[in-house]
Amino acid sequence: MGEKVVAGAFDLSDRQRYRDKLRQCLTGLERLLAQQRFDRPKNLMGLEIELNLAGADGLPKMLNGQVLERIASRDFQTELAMFNLEVNITPHRLGGRVFDRLAEELRTSLAYAHRKAAEVDAGIVMIGILPTLDRDDLVTSNLSDVDRYTLLNDQIVAARGEEFTLEIDGVEHLACTSKSIVPEAACTSVQLHLQVTPARFADVWNAAQAVAAVQVAVGANSPFLFGRELWRESRPPLFQQATDTRPPELKAQGVRPRTWFGERWISSAYELFEENLRYFPALLPICDEEDPLEVLAAGGVPKLAELVLHNGTIYRWNRPVYGIADGVPHLRVENRVLPAGPTVTDVVANAAFYYGVVRALAEDSRPVWTRMPFETAAANFDAACRYGIDARLQWPRRGRLGGTTEIDAVSLVRDELLPLAEAGLDAWGVEPADRDLYLGVIEERCRRRTNGASWQVATFHRALEAGLPRDAALAATTRRYAELMRQGEPAHTWPVGLPEPVPTG
């Protein structure tokens, strides 16, 4: 949600006016779709990565303002808390050696940011949840010094009307409360964008929903929170609970959470924007001066500012995005399921797998979403978050047999989805060397049943067995992770454990 928002109070008329403007925006979107005003295919993909700042001790550093001042690049922005940054990579055309170019840009950008962070005794750590975060780090005083974050926090807290309950029952159990949404800042992710035509949007979104579980299973990298070992990918349950405007009574009534997987396959992008208005009250009822219908009537392209802002406060794991580039509107699918890290190679491999498999599934003559209930895709997502690379998922049977069958995530990827991803990347025109390098990373993860989450857990337990107290073991795991991350070899090759002798006592 990158809009410039000025903090202030809202009254009753603001909310009614905002609702009216949202309806005008939705009508404007409907007319743009009917008039076929959207950009033609450009095969454009984009990438954003949320990052953590940590010191040499592995503990979080609340210094994003100072670090951003030193980086002095519009590619880097604030995120919710002072230990967060975000890097945005310029959109690339899918094809050729795009993934190698992407990897080189990321390595250059992150190395530069790390050097600048070192000037204030901090460093960049690309990880789903920083294992050393403590509850005292995730408090309102550590919100980034940006009006929109303060305002968003105030509005979500007011809508909920009571403390947030954080409860995750994983390998260990976590139960605590928070007075703010700041625990959401623990969740640092990779967001993959794909520009699509309106006619292709539903197929791409449905395909992305179907494979979200698989993405998480092979890419999990967030096993710890507040010193507890929880799910292999603990970001989704944490994010949902930390932004949940529903007290228990509204949950019991079936009110939908603002962070959600969804509840049905779709046939158009319009349906998702319409759901946003139907189900979710405004959090930031800030009205733009533009009359979208007047702009349309005059032959212009409306910003649909209220629709865009409202969409930015509803946290779908695959989110529709309306944007304008060079005066022409376009639609994107924003895939938000992946954690950050562990290395640039791992991030780019995750991206290559996603763009390949989504294209292949979206063009399948027997689409997976016609052979699998939506509820199954949602259940798969939860299973993948809980068990990571060891998850077992439900997937449509091959051939003419109907129904679904249970299968190991790694077997599903190696036997069925990697060949599809290969075909999809070929269809994008990606060079075979690029394709084979990055899909090979996914294959090796599956062969070794090793990803960032499993490495973190194994190294943490090795440190405990060597006599380190829990907090020290988490800090040592984080330091070793950061060291290996900067060396750059993919996580499935990392040696488990700590390199130096661990002192006892």
pLDDT in tens, 404-418: 999 999 999 999 999
pLDDT in tens, 400-449: 778 999 999 999 999 999 999 999 999 999 999 999 999 999 999 999 99
Task: Tell whether omega for the bond before 499 is within 30 degrees of 0, i.e. cis.
Answer: no
pLDDT in tens, 24-42: 999 999 999 999 999 988 8
H helix and E strand count, the chain: 17, 15
Distance CA 11, CA 287 (A): 13
Mean pLDDT of 273-284: 95
pLDDT in tens, 308-366: 999 999 999 999 999 999 999 999 999 999 999 999 999 999 999 999 999 999 999 99
Give the residues across from 200 on adjacent strands. Answer: none
pLDDT of 14 reads 84
Mean pLDDT of the chain: 95
pLDDT of 9 reads 60
pTM higher than 0.85, yes or no? yes
Confidence of residue 3 (pLDDT cuts 50, 70, 90): very low
Whether 504 has a pLDDT exceeding 80, the answer reads: no
Confirm if 77 and 85 have CB atoms less than 8 A apart.
yes
pLDDT of 461 reads 98
pLDDT of 125 reads 98
Mean pLDDT of 35-58: 94
Q: Please identify which residue in the block is written with the tokens 């670090």.
A: 67
Q: Please identify which residue in the block is written with the tokens 């005292």.
A: 136
Confidence of residue 501 (pLDDT cuts 50, 70, 90): low
Q: How far apart are the first and last CA of the chain?
A: 48
Question: What whole-number percentage of the chain has pLDDT above 70?
Answer: 97
In Å, how far from its chain's centre is CA 304? 24
pLDDT in tens, 221-232: 999 999 999 999
Distance CA 70, CA 68 (A): 5
- In SS3 terms, 436-489 reads as HHHHHHHHHHHHHCCCHHHHHHHHHHHHHHCCCCHHHHHHHHHHHHHHHHHHCC
pLDDT of 373 reads 97
pLDDT of 128 reads 98
- 280 is written with which tokens? 């979710």
3-state secondary structure of 93: strand
pLDDT of 503 reads 54
pLDDT of 500 reads 66
